[in-house]
Amino acid sequence: MSKVHNFSAGPSILNQEVLKKASEAVVNFNNLNLSILEISHRSKDFVAVMDNAVALVKEILNVPEGYSVLFLQGGASTGFLNTVLNYGNKNGSAAYLNTGAWSKKAFKEADISHGEAIIVASSEDKNFNYIPKGYTVPDGVDYFHITTNNTIFGTQIKDIPVQENTLLIADMSSDIFSRKINVSDYALIYAGAQKNLGPAGTTLYIVKDDLLGQTNRTIPTMLDLRTHIGKGSMFNTPPVYPIYVSMLTLEWLKANGGIEWIERVNQEKAALLYSEIDANPLFEGTAEKEDRSDMNVTFVLTNDDVKEDFDKMWNEAGISGINGHRDVGGYRASIYNAMPIESIQVLVDTMKQLANKYDLVNE
Active site residues: 102, 171, 195
* Gap between the Cα atoms of 252 and 17, Å rounded: 8
205 and 69 in contact (C-beta within 8 Å)? Answer: yes
Rounded CA-CA distance 95/121 in Å is 9
> Residue 251 burial by CB count (10 A; 0-12/13-18/19+): exposed, middle or buried?
middle
CA distance 27 to 258: 29
User: How many alpha carbons fall within 13 Å on the CB side of residue 258?
Assistant: 10
| Contact present, 356 and 328 (Cβ < 8 Å) | no
Say if residues 170 and 186 touch (Cβ distance below 8 Å): yes
CA distance 86 to 223: 8
Q: Are 45 and 32 in contact (CB under 8 A)?
A: yes
Q: Three-state DSSP class for 107? A: helix
C-alpha distance from residue 107 to each of 81, 118, 184, 246, 293 (Å)? 10, 8, 24, 28, 22
Q: How many CB atoms lie within 10 A of CB 353?
A: 16
